[in-house]
Structure 1
Amino acid sequence: MPVVFGLHKLLFFLTDPFAEPFRELSVFEITVQNAGLLLFSFVIVQGSVRITNRLNQRLPWSPTPALRALVQVLAQLFLATVWIFIYQSIVVWILFDQNIFAILNSAAFTPEIRFVIWRFILASALVSLVTSLIVTGRNIRMHTAEMKIQAAQLKETALQAELQSLKLQLDPHFVFNNFSTISALIEEDKTLAQSFVENLSRVYRYMIQHIHSDTITLQKEIKFIESYTYLIFIRHGNNVKVSMHIPENLMQKEYHLLPCNC
């Protein structure tokens, strides 16, 4: 509100800094004038806030920010126009004890008074426009920040869902059994242990890289199956039998199929 009050005083002064009213007003008259401007500023600011709060409920910034900005500016200009008329009517009634329409054609309504009133209206309109732009800009900035926060929250939710999906794919029994096998192989055969770790890494790389894939090439799927069966063979030996027969012509083309879920 102090900004609106100061801006109004500045614009009103700049329109005619050497006007008689500025040089001949008494302290009391200046005090009354400033009190009126404070009231004017209070109504403009509070009206802008109420308009913003109401529009936030009835016409949010999403999904039509341009329409919201236009309605916001028009609503606040309408408020300013109505309040300027009411304010000037009160001033005229106090000074001349008549309504504003009756005084327009009165002899008391001199060109000097008319000029002062129009200066006030012009300054008030400019202040209202600036206030509207400031409030609208502030709302746009707050809305943008809110959208960024929501986007970050959605991204975090997606990452958590992805992590949970990955956890579900990594069977804890499968992980435990393979780590136990690695521990045993390190003591018995380090070369075999290294080969086991390499194939285990291929299996997990496959699951991580294709967690969101709808399809996968046949060649990649075959390599995954080979790595996976290798782990099974090392753990269970001759107790497991796996055979694959894939025609050569299929391997030469890029066929796509659903990825394997382990």
Structure 2
Amino acid sequence: MKRKSFIILLWISLGTALFFFIFFTDEKSMKNFGLSLIVSLMYSFLIGAGNGAINDFLNKRFPWSEATTKRAVISIVTILIANIILVYFCNYMNIVVFQKEVSTEEYFSGRYNFINWFTINIALLISTFLHAKGFMEELKKTSRKEVVEQKLIAKSANAQFESLKNQLDPHFLFNSLNVLSSLIDENPNQAQKFTASMSKIYRYVLEQKDKELVTVEDEIEFAKTYCQLLKTRFEDSVDFEFNVKKEDMRRFVVPLSLQLLLENCIKHNFATSSKPLLIKVFSENDILCIENNLQVREQMKESAGIGLANIVQRYSLLTKKNVFIEKSEDYFKVKLPILSEKPNIVNTVVETEDKAYERAQKRVKEIKGFYGNLISYCIVIPFLVILNLITNPRNYWFYWPMLGWGMSVVAHGVSVFTIGKGWEEKKIREILEKNNYGK
């Protein structure tokens, strides 16, 4: 037991002992006060600490965040059985052992059923409070943990995305310089034209590489310019066909994806005037396809594999839609998803915090309302019981408000803690994934 809980139970025991000693003890003596204190300590520590231990044990074995419905059912059954046993034992020790009012047979004959039943209700209220408190603490802990995890995921994804984009600049420059080096020896005039075109294209690379997505239209225009650059070197050995639907032009793809795929087509296939390489760029069913006839060349050295892998990884950070590759004996095709909207990795953190805050705020209001109802019940009902016993001890009318209001408190607790319906905020990550956050 924690030190704070131990001190609280001591104060509760002392307060209860003083209350019963002052108002319900005829002979005011240190012996009777000591007896009241012992009885109060017994009730406080056996019922209070017992319910606390049960709650702690269930929190470890059946956390609210992992098995809400199962935990709720187990809690109800456990606290009912445990409190009935504890109350009967405490009342037995108080009435039979300490006060010696009746024998064991008389105690279990049914004469004290009302006292036992009343005490069990008080114990159940205490236990309900402890379990509700545990539920709220678990909710706050889980919400905080999920928000932190989402922050880390978003920061990691953003860092990874930046790293991938930074590959594009040296990758393009390195390959372009290799082409230029070849042209200088083969055709100096073409090398001069290539240099002029390359400066224009490289400007686009610098402008677009920091963006997460660009329009299909911008990417197609750039690809056509890049194809002209390739035609400068390969002339009739390479042909290009573009057939992208007009409605797809305003949608989005990852930047420089076409350039990387066009470059791969040239890099991995041979092209001659007698056997030209035909590269097609077209759209179908929300997919942008880049297809070439397969004329595989022998590689002198192993490819670094940056191009296609870079595209696949960037798409995986932005959407659940996958990049598909088709290969047959005659052709090689890459299918890029065309996206309808622009997701933003950085905004994931803000959206996660906002959603989590809204849910937490709503949850706090619901739980505060339940606690207010429960505390009011715990204060008013004992007062009505005492009032009834003082004014009209032969007619127990307090049963009706106790039962009616008690059923209302139970129904309120069921609605707040969603027993049987599942925890609305069981896992924040599942909600975020459902609404396409974080990807």
TM-score, length basis structure 1: 0.62
Q: Which stretch of the first structure deviates more once superposed, 169-178 or 152-161?
A: 169-178
| Residues in 2 aligned to 1:71 and 1:198: alpha-carbon distance in whole angstroms | 63
Structure 2 vs 1, CA of residues 88 and 76 (structure 1 numbering), >3 Å: closer, same or farther?
Answer: same
Contact 1:73 1:132 in 2 (8 A): no
Q: Deviations over 1:98-133 (max 9, x none)?
A: 64224567xxx8xxxx69x82x762x3343223212
Residue among 235, 246, 258 paired with 1:252: 246
Residue among 21, 30, 34 paired with 2:33: 30
Residue among 104, 126, 130 paired with 1:131: 126
Query: Aligned-residue CA RMSD in angstroms?
Result: 4.5
Residue among 183, 202, 209 paired with 2:213: 209
Aligned residue number for residue 225 of structure 1: 223
Structure 2 vs 1, CA of residues 62 and 25 (structure 1 numbering), >3 Å: closer, same or farther?
Answer: same
| Structure 2 counterpart of 1:209, one-letter code | L
| Residues in 1 aligned to 2:207 and 2:133: alpha-carbon distance in whole angstroms | 52
C-alpha deviation, 1:82, in angstroms: 0.9
Aligned residue number for residue 105 of structure 2: 101
Contact 1:44 1:128 in 2 (8 A): yes
Structure 2 residue 170 is matched with structure 1 residue 174: yes
Moved over 4 A (4+): 1-14, 16-19, 175-178, 192-199, 238-243, 258-262
Contact 1:80 1:128 in 2 (8 A): yes
Q: Deviations over 1:49-101 (max 9, x none)?
A: 32123223432213432442343244223222211111222231343386422
| Residues in 1 aligned to 2:12 and 2:125: alpha-carbon distance in whole angstroms | 9
Structure 2 vs 1, CA of residues 24 and 39 (structure 1 numbering), >3 Å: closer, same or farther?
Answer: same
Q: Which runs of 5+ in 2 are unaligned?
A: 1-5, 178-197, 249-282, 291-307, 312-439
| Residues in 2 aligned to 1:29 and 1:17: alpha-carbon distance in whole angstroms | 7
Aligned residue number for residue 189 of structure 1: none
Q: Deviations over 1:121-164 (max 9, x none)?
A: 62x33432232122112211121122213312431124303421
Structure 2 residue 152 is matched with structure 1 residue 149: no
Contact 1:8 1:127 in 2 (8 A): no
Higher helix share: 1
Higher strand share: 2
| Residues in 1 aligned to 2:27 and 2:234: alpha-carbon distance in whole angstroms | 108
Q: Secondary structure at the match of 1:174?
A: helix
| Structure 2 counterpart of 1:225, one-letter code | A
How many residue pairs end up in the alignment?
224
Q: Deviations over 1:185-243 (max 9, x none)?
A: xxxxxxx98995455212432xx237xxxxx85x454135357x39x96xx9x668786
Contact 2:65 2:142 in 1 (8 A): no
| Residues in 1 aligned to 2:64 and 2:222: alpha-carbon distance in whole angstroms | 49
| Residues in 2 aligned to 1:130 and 1:36: alpha-carbon distance in whole angstroms | 20
Q: Secondary structure at the match of 2:241?
A: coil
Structure 2 residue 63 is matched with structure 1 residue 60: yes
Contact 1:61 1:143 in 2 (8 A): yes
Identity %: 14
| Residues in 2 aligned to 1:89 and 1:200: alpha-carbon distance in whole angstroms | 84
Structure 2 vs 1, CA of residues 11 and 33 (structure 1 numbering), >3 Å: closer, same or farther?
Answer: closer
Contact 2:47 2:123 in 1 (8 A): yes
More relative contact order, 1 or 2 (CA 8 Å, 6+ apart): 1
C-alpha deviation, 1:4, in angstroms: 5.8
